[in-house]
Structure 1
Amino acid sequence: MTLEHLILMRHGETTWNRAQRLQGHRDIPLSDVGRAQAVDAAPSLVALRPEVIVASDLCRAQQTAEAVATLTNLPVGVDRRLRETSMGKWEGLTRDEAIADWPKEWNAWRTTSAHASPPGGESRWQVAARAAAVVYELDAGNASRALLVTHGGTIVGLTGRLLVLPEDSWGTLVGVGNCHWVVLHRYAGAWRLHSYNAGLGGLVLPKGEDQVAGT
């Protein structure tokens, strides 16, 4: 095991984020606001001294990662396993539309087991399993500090898995804000939470359901 620090960064804002529309696997680019967020946040991520950068294959994550990479000599690796949760039938809908048609399913997905999922979509457990495989591969390499630029739902699931939280508690982790990040560090062989939902504005407190995994 070589990794000592792991930074999980969410991509910048898209127009669908602003509209609270569930993107899932839809390849939506950053908005002007999102590109500015990525540029503004980049120096803080560089200060965390990543030795390797890997992004989801969705363009909103790659664009965010490139803003960090331009300040370093590091290439951006791309890995499909870091992409957002597949939202199934909810993909393309707004949060309110999904709640109106699937209220029980929405509540179960947001509040209960890591194994709950949108209709036809992925559970947090499934997303965390594929994303964790990326971490395990990096852990077998030479880097001690890695930056993964990914998505809100992926970060929630991966954080729960790496911290070995009870699976029925993963839904208690709030979504991470655009261009905010989670930092984990390893101590005595186990991952420990250093910071959650950190960013230029400090810790972001969500307003109700404003920050929704799957975007």
Structure 2
Amino acid sequence: MSKYAGVRTLILLRHGQTEWNAADRMQGQIDTDLTELGRRQAKEAARELVSRNAIAIISSDLRRAFETASALADHTSLDVVPDPRLRETALGDWEGLTHLEVDADYPGARKAWRLDATFRPPNGESKLEVGARSLPVVRELLVERQDWPGRTIILVAHGGLIAGLTAALLDLPPANWPVLGGLANTSWVQLSSHGPSIDQPGWRLDVWNASAKVAPDVL
């Protein structure tokens, strides 16, 4: 038996590029679509990740994530299960604004938001709140998926959500949450659970911001 037979592998995949990503516009929970490049990125990531033989694909219900997840599911016999708890951070009054507009209207606030997991954009969520909302998704899977040990589950979501969920799974002190930086479109994070029990999953961070490069001839 492999020494990894009892290890649960969790991959967190960020969605492909949207027009708003390309324009540095704050999306939050506004439901935007993938660009053509974003769709190619999703297909490239799918070709890379299909070898993991996932037993489940769960996605944010926002279109940019769900379409990315569907590109992966197309290579498997799995259905994508939508879960609104995997939506991106609610950015409140910042949603729809470009980075420059936020910096002009709220000087210094975006930097504070990056460096302080308790900072909440006006009428939005803090990173700690995002982690708390998404953590139960994984806890439920630990209980419900008896077939997970030795295999992989993939969650498809958003950069802020993935950082918050990763920090929550690793039980990082809030002051240390900013060590997890941004993720590129269709980059992914891999964690593995080595713990003695479901109550003590013992999550480890294996990979941060990995990606399958889109071939230059399709750009």
- Please indicate, yes or no, whether the TM-score normalized by the shorter chain is above 0.5: yes
- Deviation string 1:65-104 (CA, Å, 9 cap, x unpaired) is 0000000000100000000000011000011111121123
Gaps of 5+ in 1: 203-215
The total of aligned residue pairs comes to 200
- Aligned-residue sequence identity (percent) comes to 47
Larger Rg: 2
Q: Extract structure 1 runs of 4+ deviating beyond 6 A.
A: none
Tell me: CA distance 1:3–1:55, structure 2 relative to 1, closer, same or farther (3 Å). farther
Q: Distance in 1 between matches of 2:52 and 2:182?
A: 22
Partner of 1:160: 167
Q: Which of residues 180, 205, 217 is equivalent to 1:193? A: 205
Matches within 5 A, 1:9-48: 9-48=13-52
Amino acid at match of 1:24: G
Partner of 1:177: 184
Query: Could you tell which deviates more after superposition, 85-94 or 170-179?
Result: 170-179
Two-structure CA RMSD over aligned residues (Å): 1.5
**Cα offset, 1:3, TM superposition:** 7.1
Partner of 1:105: 109
Secondary structure of the equivalent of 2:108?
helix
TM-score, normalised to structure 1's length? Answer: 0.89
Q: Distance in 2 between matches of 1:10 and 1:147?
A: 11
Whether the aligned pair in 1 keeps the contact of 2:89 and 2:160 (CA below 8 Å) is yes
Secondary structure of the equivalent of 1:5?
strand
Whether the aligned pair in 2 keeps the contact of 1:3 and 1:139 (CA below 8 Å) is no
Amino acid at match of 1:23: Q
TM-score, normalised to structure 2's length? Answer: 0.88
Matches within 5 A, 1:41-60: 41-60=45-64
Q: Distance in 2 between matches of 1:132 and 1:97?
A: 32
